[in-house]
Structure 1
Amino acid sequence: MWGYVCPNSASKPSENETKKTSPAQQKGPSKKETRGIAKADRKANDYLEQKIDVKPTVNYDPQQEFINSLLMVDVGDSIWHQKKSDCPNCDKDITLDEIKKICVDKRNNCLVEDETMIRAALPYLNIYRKKVGINTCIRKAHFLAQISQESKFYSLQENFNWYWEKLIGKFSSYFNQFRTRLEKETEAKRLGRINRLPTPGLTLNQQIELANAIYGHTHPLGRLHINTGDGWLYSGKGFKQITWKENYQNLERYFNTHMKDDNEPDVDWTDGDNPYKLKNNPKDAITSALAYWGKNNINSLANENNAKAVEKVSLKINAIADGLKERQRFFKKANDILKLSE
């Protein structure tokens, strides 16, 4: 049988006990309070007292510096006031010797057949590369690997000495306008060389005719090539082999907006014969390559030291990553020469 307890039979709590409503007020004095180390504070809701260790280690992130600084504790010489340690080689100039050791074949033979243009362009490379963020060893390695594949640091005019049979697959965007295989082969034989060996090759006039055909107005990217000679005029030039009039215009605009030094005149890479500056003038040849790098934000892909990163960068440089294995080989070589592992 359940018993019944009258509420009035319980003892009435004292006035002080009714005021102890928070956990901090209900518990007794702490060890620190007993030893006189700390004063009692019965207003705080300290549900749990626990000894913790605070380590003065902070992950530096400039974007979060303001937010994180609100959480800092006094740890003496704060990390926020310490200078970030940088690789001592990142700011060093790229040298001709490094380029010649990176741009080599599988037997370590240098592929730079003529040093004239890269030797003259080197000062501009080291000045303007920093304007597009190529300011770390790994980004330098990516850039040098790509240029090694694009032009071997000397071939500043795209080569159109093509064997006819290779043309159909290489420039399908042009040959797709022909319906039958026979029509495609007939056009390819008209434009390309008949012999498989590169010599005797196509004459300069024959190469110009080929360029004007495959890079003409019928190409999806050739909408601005409205003149007969625009295919050749805006064919691959410079250390990066810049192609298409629209690219020349965009890179010219990018350089003039983002890369110029104070009081430096605007560049003109599109009017008249000015596209030829990219293969005849060392400064234009290298700054056009750097402008392409900056405009396409390639640095965002060039911060890792692995083959996948090379592939991503290569796709930005060349839409089909043509010569990817060679680009990866050049990057591996740059890795060794620039001592990225160190």
Structure 2
Amino acid sequence: MTTGKYEQQRSEHNGKPVAVAQASSCFCNRDFTVDDLVSFYGKKKLFSAKNCPLPQEQRNIELLTRKLNYTMNKFGINTCLRKAHFLAQIEAETLFATTEEYSSGWDYDNSTHEDGHKKYVLFKKDPIKYATYEKYKRNFYRYEECIAHGHNVKGFGPKYKGRGLIQLTWKDNYEDFFKKLKELGEKEQDISNPYIVAKELHLSCLSAGWYWRNKSALGDLNKFADEDDLIAISAGVNGGSNGFEHRKVNVKKIIKLMKIRECCNNLSVTSIGTYKFKNSNLYKNPRWRKIYEKKFIKYDD
């Protein structure tokens, strides 16, 4: 972590150096420095995957630090625990290797599943006659999901596949995000050009902040961060337990380096940094418990 009374950091608004007071207080309502992020993530080559469309000049820790601070300020990710969990999750999602999903996106396309959908409809009408069509069950539901998200034109799957630091996916979600950008006074974006979310680090970061507050599977993730509920947050971001151990290592490290236990005066929980399924909001909700218990309980501290 940085030390000393002041350090220079570049303003998000005009790029000019500004003095930032380095108090011994916590990180609630205080920006991170480049050194802070390096301590969290280590020194790594950023956005180096072959598929990453970010321009070379945007692949640096200085710009990433500024854009993450800007995003957290914009979306009220403004307490120590909220920041720690947000930073832990965005690194786990992409490893900061790319801003675009690796897969082609055709699994999000209605045309991929249309034939299977029709066959499963026949199976539902006559399970005996069309018994061999039972295997198309996933195609049936995936097709319905595609249509529900506005993917009714061939090619929309690849066009609106995952982009940004928390992989913004589906046409309707891009529409909602672009609408929010306009409300926030950001530059207006055209829904016909979703590719820009992966090509501009500013939008890659903002899309993650928007998802965190508005579009996760469990709703606003700030409320779970306030309770240090890593398990619920991971389910909200990822939909399951993929990469959970990595997410756990991340947040424990960041909590320690931020000295949240020692310095933060805004904690609403008495204990942080220990994660058991029975203490999660997922356990307390019968419906969520049924969905997630087997996925997470094996990772209990």
**Aligned match for 1:300, one of 223, 226, 234:** 223
2:248 corresponds to which residue? 328
Change beyond 3 A, Cα 1:232–1:95: farther
Contact 1:238–1:289 (CA under 8 A) maintained in structure 2? yes
Matches within 5 A, 1:64-75: none
Residues 246/150 of structure 1: CA separation in 2 closer, same or farther (3 Å cut): same
Question: Structure 1 residues 331 and 219 mapped into 2: Cα distance closer, same or farther (>3 Å)?
Answer: farther
- The aligned counterpart of 1:95 is 33
Report the TM-score, using the length of structure 2 for normalisation.
0.57
Cα separation, 1, equivalents of 2:115 and 2:233: 28
Report deviation, 1:119: 3.7
Counterpart of 1:318? 238
Task: Kindly report the root-mean-square deviation, in angstroms, between the aligned alpha carbons of the 2 structures.
Answer: 3.7
Contact residue 314 and residue 324 of structure 1 kept, 8 A: yes
Deviation sequence 1:253-310 (CA, Å, 0-9, x none): 23332x33xxx54x32x5222x1111101111111111112224211111133xxx01
Aligned equivalents of 2:96 and 2:177: distance in 1?
20
Q: Which moved more, 1:88-97 or 1:129-138?
A: 88-97
Structure 1 residue corresponding to 2:143, chosen from 202, 218, 239: 218
Matching of residues 56-71 of structure 1 within 5 Å:
none
Question: Map of 1:1-342 to 2, 5 A cutoff?
Answer: 87-103=25-41, 110=44, 112=46, 114=48, 116=59, 119-160=62-103, 218=143, 220-223=145-148, 224-257=150-183, 259-260=184-185, 264-265=186-187, 267-268=188-189, 271-273=191-193, 275-295=194-214, 296-305=219-228, 309-342=229-262
**How high is the sequence identity, in percent, across the aligned residues?**
27
User: In the alignment, is the contact (CA less than 8 A) between 2:101 and 2:161 conserved in 1?
Assistant: yes
Distance of 2:61 and 2:114 partners within structure 1? 33
Checking the alignment, whether the CA contact within 8 Å between 1:96 and 1:122 is kept in structure 2 is yes
* 2-structure distance, mates of 1:161, 1:96: 33
CA contact (8 A) 2:47 2:59 kept: no
Q: Shift of residue 311 of structure 1? A: 0.9
Q: CA deviation at 1:125?
A: 2.2
**1:217-243 superposed Cα distances (whole Å, 9 cap, x missing partner):** 725144311222211111110111111
Q: Is the 8 A contact 2:26 2:258 kept in 1?
A: no
Distance in 2 between the 1:117 and 1:87 partners?
Answer: 28
8 A Cα contact 1:174 1:219, kept in partner: no
Q: CA deviation at 1:245?
A: 0.9
CA-CA distance at 1:338 after TM superposition: 1.6
Gaps of 5+ in 2: 1-23, 49-57, 108-112, 121-129, 263-301
Letter in 1 for 2:221: I
Return closer, same or farther for 1:150/1:118 CA change in 2, 3 Å cut-off.
farther
Change (3 A) 1:133 1:174: farther
Amino acid across the alignment from 1:294: R
| Contact 1:278/1:288 (<8 A) preserved | yes
Could you tell me how far apart the structure 1 residues matched to 2:220 and 2:115 are? 32
- The TM-score normalised by the length of structure 1 is 0.51
> Match for 1:144: what amino acid?
L
1:110 CA displacement: 4.5
Answer whether contact 2:64 2:201 (CA < 8 A) is retained. yes
Q: Is the 8 A contact 1:302 1:313 kept in 2?
A: yes
Per residue, is there more helix in 1 or in 2? 2
Structure 2 distance, partners of 1:322, 1:340, is 26
Change in CA separation of 1:219 and 1:333 when aligned onto 2, cut-off 3 Å? farther
Tell me how far apart the structure 2 counterparts of residues 158 and 242 of structure 1 sit (CA, whole Å).
9
Number of aligned residues:
206
Alignment CA distance shift 1:121-1:176 (3 Å): farther
Give the deviation of 1:174 after TM superposition.
9.5
Structure 1 residue 333 displacement after superposition: 1.5
